[in-house]
Amino acid sequence: MSLSNRDYGITVEYDVMVPMRDGVVLATDIYYPATNDKRLEGVFPTILGRTSYGKNWKSLWIDPVANYFVPKNYVVVIQDIRGRGKSGGVGQYFHTVNCNEGLDGYDTVEWIASQTWSNGRVGMTGSSHSGIIQTVASLMNPPHLSAIWVDVAPTNIFAHEAREGGCMALWMFAALFLHAHDAPEISGDLQKRKDVLNGWQNIRNFIKDMPLKPGQTPLKWVPNLEKILFDYYHRGEYDEFWQMECCNQQQYFDRAADIPAVFSGGWYDPFAVATTNQYVAMSNKNRTSQRLDMGPWNHGGRRNGQTYSGDVDFGKDASYGIDGYGKQRLRWFDRWLKDIPNSVENDKPVRIFVMGGGDGKRNEHGRLNHGGIWREEEQWPLGRTEHIKFYFHDEGCLSADIPNHEMTQLSYIYDPNQPVPTIAATSAAGELLNLPDKFDLELEDPRDYMQTMFYDGGAHQKEKCGLLGSRE
């Protein structure tokens, strides 16, 4: 089967069942370089993606990874992780709390290296949960894992994902519907799948009707995901649950493989601090090339090619998408998996997008022209950073000037029946729009109809009809 007519064509071996050490098998698609629909002879480096989102998700895996790298003479392996898709271990998937993920990553990497078509070098890539999957595999030190590119991923789900700031991050409720709608536990029950989709569409009502109770949301049809919802919901203290390696990799960074690694993210991504902290830890520990790459994006902005986050636009230099992101990753993996002398190791280790400099006017899409530029640096945090204190002034502004008189008292009214809404924030999941009348659940992907419940990025802090929590 040919999927591409670029440099090389592609042939695909679907649903290869790769065995793990405990006997569970994981469904794996293998994309090979080909000419005239015939697989090329020889050995190749491999790009591995392990995913909870479905190995056949076109916009996440097929177009930006398989269709990009295979024509460039790579084998691409995309695998449904344990308990997802067609893989074994149904019922063992607990969102991002999966104790087998590190060992499964190790076993998959070493299985690839043992194949006759492998040159023995495996690189991993992936975003969000697939970034966590790379980190936990790295902690296992598989001998043939040669390079990684971790994008927009938390490393401590208590601090970065589920309980950031103390309260449960409510977008995690939406994330669990994202993972429940195609759960193998309900794949054969169309009514339960529709029930989950209906709950996802009505998630605002569930939030308004809190407190949540077991059995009262459609997540009850996927018991392992309902269980993890209430772990996220009730575990407000950092306890033995959050201390598990699958929840918090930060405490085990000393065990991470010393291999070339890129940690990429966005300033409006919920895991921006996790990304920068992981880079700092790995650059201090490892001798191999470590890189930090931070753009002006939200959780999906680098991959989607957008130039904006929320209500703010940063100009054409902020647009990456499949081609821009693909060129970045290709150069990285060419160096470490093919030994191509492209001097990537001589690049400055830190690349950041500095926001600002635009004219502040509204563009044709109604967003503020904020602008910005890319800048390369030698370190993070920046050694020449100046810390400036700002002070409240009684006219309602912040200034570096020290107030020269006693401030007038400022106050505001707090009404718990009218809580302050979230106008703009960071998020990695959203609600589901109403599906078209002729939507076919067997043939179409409801994820194409997701949207955030607030501005996913920068925005004027003003209530607006339609935003979660705003007065209608």
pLDDT at 3: 42
pLDDT of residue 265: 97
Enter the tokens of residue 152: 């927009």
Look at residue 6 in the predicted model and tell me its pLDDT.
Answer: 54
Task: With a cut of 50, say whether residue 216 has pLDDT above it.
Answer: yes
Range in 93-102, 228-237, 247-256, 436-445 the model is least confident about: 436-445
Q: What confidence tens digit (pLDDT) does each residue in 290-308 have?
A: 999 999 999 999 999 999 9
User: What is the percent of the chain with per-residue pLDDT over 70, rounded to a whole number?
Assistant: 98
Please tell me the predicted confidence (pLDDT) of residue 4.
37
pTM of the model: 0.94
pLDDT band, very low/low/confident/very high, at 289 (cuts 50, 70, 90): very high
pLDDT of residue 222 exceeding 80, the answer is: yes
Query: What Cα–Cα distance (Å) separates residue 461 from each residue in 55, 160, 439, 456, 467?
Result: 38, 23, 36, 12, 11
Percent of the chain, pLDDT > 90? 81
pLDDT > 60? residue 5: no
Q: What's the Cα-to-Cα distance from 371 to each of 157, 323, 359, rounded to whole Å?
A: 32, 21, 8
312-326, 340-354, 398-412, 426-440: the lowest-pLDDT one:
398-412
- When the pLDDT of each residue in the chain is averaged and rounded to a whole number, the result is 93
Residue 81 has pLDDT above 60, yes or no: yes
For residue 111, pLDDT over 80 is answered with yes
What pLDDT does residue 407 have?
A: 61
How many Cα atoms within 13 Å fall on the side-chain side of residue 268?
27
pLDDT at residue 422, rounded to an integer: 77
1 confidence band (pLDDT: 50, 70, 90): very low
Please, are residues 31 and 78 in contact by the beta-carbon 8 Å criterion?
yes
Mean pLDDT of 419-443: 87
Average pLDDT of the residues in 53-67: 96
- What is the arithmetic mean of pLDDT over 55-69? 97
Average pLDDT of 5-28? 93
Three-state DSSP state, 118: strand
Helices vs. strands in the chain: H and E counts, helices first: 12, 20
The whole-number pLDDT of residue 356 equals 96
The average pLDDT across 218-233 equals 97
Transcribe 8-55 into DSSP letters: SEEEEEEEEEEEPTTS-EEEEEEEEEEETTEEPPS-EEEEEEEESS-T
Query: What is the arithmetic mean of pLDDT over 221-233?
Result: 97
pLDDT tens readout for residues 158-215 = 999 999 888 899 889 999 999 999 999 999 999 999 999 999 999 999 988 889 999 9
| Residue 412 predicted with pLDDT over 90 | no
In the prediction, which pLDDT does 472 show? 59
Q: List, in sequence order, every residue forming a beta bridge with 145; answer none if it has no partner.
A: 122
Sign of the torsion formed by the C-alpha atoms of 48, 144, 272 and 153 = positive
